[in-house]
Amino acid sequence: MNKKPNILITGGSGYIGSCLALYLKKKYQIINLDKKDNKHLSIEICNLLNLKKLTNILKKKKPKLIIHLAAQSLVDETINKEKYYQNNVIATKNLIMAMKNNNLTNLIFSSTAAVYKYSGKILNEKNLIKPKSAYAKTKLECEKIIKNSKINSVILRFFNVCSSLKINNKIIGEYHNPETHLIPTIVYKNLLKKKFYIYGKNYNSIDGTCIRDYVHIKDICSAIDKSINYLFNNDKKFQIINIGSSSKNTNLEILQKIEKITKIKNIYTIADRRKGDVDLLVCSNSKAKKILNWEPQKSNMNTIIKDEIKWVKYLIKNHQKRTFKNYLK
């Protein structure tokens, strides 16, 4: 019986990392690496800023491929910019160095749609780059580091990742603290019949609220799986690829769909538009189709909402407390 290849996931305790480990474990031997523990997963504890320890772990585990998800990801300008630089840029430099020290050559990196300059159009990989937040700026810096390293790599620019993954009666979903994302916030507040705020009513859209591209976590896992296959089976070994649904959804459309599914009336107020929010952030995934043979299968908004409801009900049943930011006061 052939031994399953070792694949190491940085940020393995996080939302995407936890889901990905569950999704890939039948095909690969998964090594979850994170600076914090996770009671549901076996975690190799390591801060990527500790180059010596990181190098030793890679030497011991010898992963055939690394999926780099670890990052300072909360987009919050109150966070010290140096924290973003250390946890994103320096951590990525250390990972590249540790890989080279161990002759490891395959890397998948999770980047963000926030690196693009706003154009008011559907975004493809040739669109102009102009990140605004410290988070997006450091993600772009990481992209450049990876490209210059000459390591075989696929950079995936994720749009709005959401919903939950259930495999073999195990369910994993978003659990940020504080929660900043729209869909988990609204579903949670809707089910508990609590008030929340939607920001902006003067966007260039059918109902005045902003338009976004939401992609189901299972489709994200599938895109990463396809990227693994690409790196293992192709000669051209550097790609930057958008991963999104290519579907347009306004905030109010999402609210209405949640109401229709739960049959519970939302209690909300539309507040002033937040500074820096753009009208439209939706991707073209044509390159993903061409290069990875990937298309979203679960990113219909009704499916996204139904799977999010399952996760939120699980949290409520298990008395998991949540705090929120941005969408309520």
What fold characterizes domain 6-163+214-243?
Rossmann fold (3.40.50)
Q: For the chain, what are the domain ranges?
A: 6-163+214-243, 166-210+247-282+297-317
What's the pLDDT at 329?
32
59: which 2 tokens? Answer: 């030497």
Give CA–CA dist 88/107, Å, rounded. Answer: 15
Task: From 8, 110, 24, select the one nearest 62 (Cα to Cα).
Answer: 8
Per-residue tens of pLDDT for the chain, all 329 residues = 568 999 999 999 999 999 999 999 999 999 999 998 776 678 899 999 999 999 999 999 999 999 999 988 665 554 578 888 999 999 999 999 999 999 999 999 999 999 999 999 999 999 999 998 889 999 999 999 999 999 999 999 999 999 999 988 899 999 877 778 899 999 999 999 999 989 889 999 999 999 999 999 999 999 999 999 999 998 878 999 999 999 999 999 999 999 999 999 999 999 888 887 889 999 999 999 999 999 999 999 999 999 999 999 999 888 666 655 544 33
What's the pLDDT at 41?
77
Give CA–CA dist 129/235, Å, rounded. Answer: 27
109: which 2 tokens? Answer: 């990196």
Q: What share of the chain is helix, strand, coil (3-state, %, to 5)?
A: 40, 20, 40
Task: Give the rounded distance of the alpha carbon of 276 from its chain centre.
Answer: 21
Order of strands across the sheet with 43-45? 43-45, 29-34, 6-10, 65-68, 106-112, 152-158, 238-243
From the CB of residue 153, how many other CB atoms can be counted at a distance below 10 Å?
Answer: 24
Yes or no: say if 239 and 165 are a contact pair by the CB < 8 Å rule. Answer: no
What's the pLDDT at 75?
59
Phi, psi for residue 70 in degrees, rounded to 5: -60, 135
Specify the long-range contacts of residues 36-43, CB closer than 8 Å, at least 24 apart. 37/13, 38/12, 38/13, 40/172, 41/12, 41/13, 43/12, 43/13
Task: Give the rounded distance of the alpha carbon of 254 from its chain centre.
Answer: 20
CATH 3.30.460.80 fits 166-210+247-282+297-317, yes or no: no
DSSP state of 283: B
Type of residue at 149: S
3-state secondary structure of 36: coil
Q: Decide if 84 is catalytic.
A: no
What's the pLDDT at 321?
64
What's the pLDDT at 322?
62
**Active-site entry in 15, 28, 84, 135:** 135
177: which 2 tokens? Answer: 């603290």
Give CA–CA dist 134/129, Å, rounded. Answer: 14
What's the pLDDT at 327?
42
